Amino acid sequence: MGKSDFTGPLERVNEYLWRIPRSYKPEMRVDGLIYASDALVELLRGDQAPEQVANVATLPGIQVASLAMPDIHWGYGFTIGGVCATDPDEGGVISPGGVGYDINCGVRLIRSNLFYQDVKPFQQRLVDELFKAVPTGTGRKGKYRFEPNELRRLMGEGVPFLKDRGLATDADIEFTEAHGCLDGADPDLVSDRALERGASQCGTLGSGNHFLEVQIVDSIFDAHAAEVMGLEKDMVCVMIHSGSRGLGYQVCDDALRLLRGIPEKYGIELPDRQLACAPVNSPEGSHYLGAMRAAANYAWCNRQLLMWQAREVFARVFDDSWQSLQMGLVYDVAHNIAKFEEHSIEAARKRVWVHRKGATRAFPPGHPEIPDRYREIGQPVLIPGDMGRASWVLVGQPGSMEQTFGTTCHGAGRVMSRTKAVREAKGRRIDQELKQRGVIARAQSWKGLAEEQPDAYKDVNLVVDVVHSAGLSKKVARMRPIGVIKG
- Tens place of pLDDT for every residue, the chain, 487 residues? 445 678 899 999 999 999 999 999 999 999 999 999 999 998 888 789 999 999 999 999 999 999 999 999 999 999 999 999 999 999 999 999 999 999 999 999 999 999 999 999 999 999 999 999 999 988 778 899 888 899 999 999 999 999 999 999 999 999 999 999 999 999 999 999 999 999 999 999 998 899 999 999 999 999 999 999 999 999 999 999 999 999 999 999 999 999 999 999 999 999 999 999 999 999 999 999 999 999 999 999 999 999 999 999 999 999 999 999 999 999 999 999 999 999 999 989 999 999 999 999 999 999 999 999 999 999 999 999 999 899 999 999 999 999 999 999 999 988 888 999 999 999 999 999 999 999 999 998 898 899 999 999 989 999 999 999 999 999 999 999 999 999 7
Q: Which of 87, 114, 83, 115 is nearest to 98 (CA)?
A: 83
Indicate whether 470 belongs to any domain: yes
Q: Please, what's the b/e burial string for 84-104 (b: 16 or more CB within 10 A of its CB; e: otherwise)?
A: bbbbbeebbbbbbbbbbbbbb
CA–CA dist 52, 55 (Å, integer): 5
Question: What's the confidence (pLDDT) of residue 43?
Answer: 84
Q: Taking a C-beta distance cutoff of 8 angstroms, is the pair 329, 175 a contact?
A: yes
How many helices (DSSP H) and strands (DSSP E) are in the chain? 17, 19
Q: Which of 335, 409, 415 is nearest to 2 (CA)?
A: 415
CA–CA dist 46, 269 (Å, integer): 27
Question: What's the confidence (pLDDT) of residue 4?
Answer: 63
CA–CA dist 398, 410 (Å, integer): 18
Indicate whether 5 belongs to any domain: no
Indicate whether 2 belongs to any domain: no
Q: Between β-strands 211-220 and 106-110, what pairing exists: parallel, antiparallel or unpaired?
A: unpaired
Q: How many of the other CB atoms lie within 10 Å of CB of 432?
A: 9
Question: What's the confidence (pLDDT) of residue 42?
Answer: 87
Indicate whether 4 belongs to any domain: no
Phi and psi for 417 in degrees, rounded to 5?
-65, 160
pTM for this entry: 0.96
CA–CA dist 241, 391 (Å, integer): 12
CATH of the domain at 93: 3.90.1860.10
CA–CA dist 479, 206 (Å, integer): 23
Indicate whether 3 belongs to any domain: no
Burial of 366 (0-12, 13-18, 19+ CB in 10 A): exposed
Q: What is the separation of C-alpha 219 from the centre of its chain, rounded to a whole number of angstroms?
A: 23
**Radius of gyration over every alpha carbon of the chain, rounded to an integer in angstroms:** 21
List the catalytic residues.
Answer: 410
Q: For CA atoms 58, 381, 138, 250, give the dihedral sign.
A: negative
Indicate whether 479 belongs to any domain: yes
Which residue type sits at 119? Answer: V
Indicate whether 166 belongs to any domain: yes
CA–CA dist 91, 281 (Å, integer): 8
Which residues partner with 383 through β-bridges?
A: 392
CA–CA dist 289, 286 (Å, integer): 5
CA–CA dist 452, 430 (Å, integer): 9
Question: What's the confidence (pLDDT) of residue 142?
Answer: 87
Q: What is the separation of C-alpha 84 from the centre of its chain, rounded to a whole number of angstroms?
A: 15
Q: Which of 42, 34, 96 is nearest to 65 (CA)?
A: 34
Indicate whether 392 belongs to any domain: yes
Question: What's the confidence (pLDDT) of residue 2?
Answer: 43
Q: Which of 327, 472, 391, 442 is nearest to 107 (CA)?
A: 391
User: What residues make up the domain containing 385?
Assistant: 11-486
Say how many domains are in the chain: 1
